[in-house]
Chain A
Amino acid sequence: MQTVSTADVEEFGRELDKIREEVIASRGEDDARYIRRVIAVQRTLEVGGRALLFASVLPPVWLAGTAALATAKILENMEIGHNVLHGQWDWMCDPEIHSSTWEWDLVSPAGQWKHTHNHLHHTWTNVLGKDRDIGYSLMRLSPEQPWNPYYLGQPLYNAMLAPLFEWGIALHDLEIERLVSGDKSWGQAFTQFREILRKGGRQIVKDYVAFPLLAGPMFLPVLLGNLTANMTRNMWGHTVIFCGHFPDEAEVFTEDQIEGETRGEWYLRQLLGSCNLDGGPLFHLMTGNLSHQIEHHLFPDLPSNRYAEVAPRVRALCERFGLPYNSGSLLRQTATVWKRVFRLALPTPVGQSAQVDTPAPATAQAA
């Protein structure tokens, strides 16, 4: 629970705005070179990985090929796709690296994902009833969500979701619960569903039909390699993404609390609802810089390669204003996520249901 004065919240916001302006003013050739290099490395890894799989007569070759392909898919999804679709590279005005033209190697069509993720999740981060990413309408990850027996199975659901994460994301974008409640028309959902089938179909044909067939006698190793690479990417993405908002200290908010929210309060909510992961440059790259989840949520459209240099400044600001800055190792954060999944599978004992942390904006108003 934070006690920060309204004036401090606004000052905190102004300082963050300043950081944002500085990064925007200094974007340039080095950043452009960075993203083009990552894309080149990723595509080379992909081609190399597939070539190795085609030649995988020996198990170590198969392993190397699968590892290269999985790495390429992780980079494509996380450091490239996610960030390009956020518009982080739109300033380059390069139609080949632009949020309006990009399509990623994932079942979920980019256009649909941009709506649920960029708009809904990033605007309403961790607001109950607004941010559909809380538990992905599949699990109970906040004690405020009313319990029912269905949630008893959520450790199992989560374990199953991990390897199939890309399908989970695609279905999540359909917003089935809004369909049931009548907020979304069936026609709209049908159009979306057809799009998912088309995109998903091409994805399946590529990895599980076209490449294996092309490999001839190596049909099975290629098929298994592709399957393993996709599942590895899905599980890694699932792990990193769940560490972003669901570790124990991440806060959840109610719609009442965010009414009339100022820019400073919005920043504060992003900070309190997000968690970072500690690690080196290679680790940050492989998480698509979502290891800097806090910075990403404060500045979703700044180029991801800049989060690392911004992070110490954000952290220093938090210290100055006495705000928490939740950062931990992947192991620790993942453990707390799973703890939460297990704990909330069971009903919350009476008296503890209002365990949602009171966020600073409300405190600030009272102060």
Chain B
Amino acid sequence: MTAPAGTRIDDFVTRLAGTVGWLTTPLLPDDYLGLINPLWSLRRPRGRVEAVRRETRDAVSLIIRPGRGWTSHRAGQFVKVGVDVDGVRHWRTYSLSTAPERGDGLFTITVKAVPGGVVSTHLVHRTRPGTFVGLGRPEGDFVLPRPVPPRLLFVTAGSGITPVMAMLRSLVRHGAIPDVVLVHSAPTREEVIFGEELRTLARQFPDLHLHEQHTRSDGRLSLSRLPDLCPDWTRRVAWVCGPAEMLEEAETRWREAGIADRLHTERFRPVVAVTADAASGRVRFLPSGQEADADGMTPLLIVGERAGVLMPSGCRMGICYGCTARLRSGRVRDLRTGREHGEQGDIVQTCVSAAAGHVEIEALR
């Protein structure tokens, strides 16, 4: 098997960069190329926001042109996006809402403004075309298997529709929509992200059954109603994406029905259990030796970022292990469970761990 042309070109570019590096030392050729066009950076992939499309009052789709080094995604995956707000780089993960089969090389992420959310409100209300963002690689296994099962069930709420939208768009691209039931809830009809597109698709494809639950008028969607909305739900492979309570309810329900293996879930927000009387302490970040005070409730990741420490990060909810660091001394508290743990040398997830007293953590090499 020969390597794809793209890889061979990238290999060549990497080798060339090594040679040219003798001219740019101590910087890299990338540092100069990035001046001409930030999208040319191979070392730190970037994207340019080409357009901003308003989906609802508080949600937008950002149409992004990825630069060099970007690898195509699978429908349903998410990506880490680096956004500068007030001069400070923040990283968040967002689901890609477009099908990878789209031919123009662009992709979109769809963002709903979370009240008080620094990054989401910035993206929704203040991001203009031409803005550059940092990009990670597409990640996650909340994706459709190949071949696609004949009967699917999607249960989503709010912006939980975004990965599912990518899947639906991908299915439409392939021209054949299997038997799909989509149960989606949003506060009102106007606040359904992709509302128009979903309704059009449902009219176009008789096998796509759409149930919209408008919670402000219809009340909250309880999964106990699932047998009414979708009588054969136990025989379908299901993807559920939405707030934590909904996911927990789904996990319980599917487990009780003995079909936990047919359920795929995607979490959007971390579950935070610890709220009060946690021990505070001082955190020392190695190898830089920078120090900061921690209150026992704030994730070490945030403590570090506020202190200007370069912290690797990822999903920020304890699932992707992109933020791990080594615990050199002290103990940490898992913010999801409230459990205190940690032995010297442990690898901890800084995004869901707070300091339980004085702590030293070291960046992984």
Interface residue ranges, A against B (CB under 8 Å) = 27-33, 40, 43-44, 47, 87, 90-96, 98-101, 103-105, 199, 202-203, 205-206, 210-211, 214
Contact = CB atoms under 8 A, between A and B. Distances in A.
A88 to B, nearest CB: 9
Contact of B305 (A44, A93, A210): A93
Given A32-B84, A43-B31, A98 B26 contact: no
B26 A103 contact: yes
Give 7 nearest A-B pairs by CB, closest first.
Answer: A32-B87, A90-B308, A103-B26, A93-B89, A28-B86, A91-B308, A202-B25
Contact of A90 (B22, B25, B31, B309): B309
30 contacts: A28-B86, A29-B84, A30-B87, A32-B84, A32-B87, A33-B87, A43-B32, A43-B35, A44-B35, A87-B290, A87-B308, A92-B87, A92-B308, A93-B88, A93-B89, A93-B305, A93-B311, A95-B44, A95-B310, A96-B31, A98-B310, A99-B288, A100-B287, A100-B288, A103-B27, A202-B26, A205-B22, A206-B25, A211-B23, A214-B23
Contacts of B26: 103-105, 199, 202-203
B25 to A, nearest CB: 5
B23 A210 contact: yes
Interface residues of B, number: 23
Given A31-B87, A92-B87, A92-B88, A206 B22 contact: yes
Interface string B283-297: 000011010000000
Contacts of B89: 92-94
Contacts of B84: 29, 32, 92, 94
A214 B44 CA distance: 29
A32 B90 CA distance: 14
Given A94-B89, A206-B25, 11 more contacts: A31-B87, A43-B31, A87-B308, A90-B308, A91-B87, A93-B310, A100-B310, A199-B26, A206-B22, A206-B23, A210-B22
Contact of B86 (A29, A47, A98, A211): A29
Contacts of A90: 308-310
A28 B310 contact: no
Contacts of A101: 310
In terms of DSSP, what is the predominant structure of the interface of chain A?
A: helix
B309 to A, nearest CB: 7
Contacts of B290: 87
Contacts of A99: 288
B22 A91 contact: no
Contacts of A214: 23
B224 to A, nearest CB: 45
Nearest to A76: B27
Given A40-B35, A43-B32, A28 B87 contact: yes
Of A93, A96, A101, most buried by chain B (CB within 10 Å of CB) is A93
A94 to B, nearest CB: 5
B121 to A, nearest CB: 15
Of B31, B44, B309, most buried by chain A (CB within 10 Å of CB) is B309
A29 B126 CA distance: 13
Interface in B41-90: 44, 84, 86-90
A68 to B, nearest CB: 15
Contacts of B35: 40, 43-44
Contacts of B309: 90
A47 B32 contact: yes
Contacts of A87: 290, 308
Contacts of A104: 26
Given A202-B22, A202-B26, A211-B23, A29 B310 contact: no
A27 B310 contact: no
Contacts of A47: 32
A269 to B, nearest CB: 22
A44 B36 CA distance: 10
A96 B132 CA distance: 15
B302 to A, nearest CB: 11
A81 to B, nearest CB: 10
Contacts of B22: 202, 205-206, 210
A44 B32 CA distance: 9
Contact of A91 (B25, B31, B44, B88): B88
Given A93-B308, A96-B44, A101-B310, A203 B25 contact: yes
A354 B308 CA distance: 43
Of B25, B84, B90, most buried by chain A (CB within 10 Å of CB) is B25
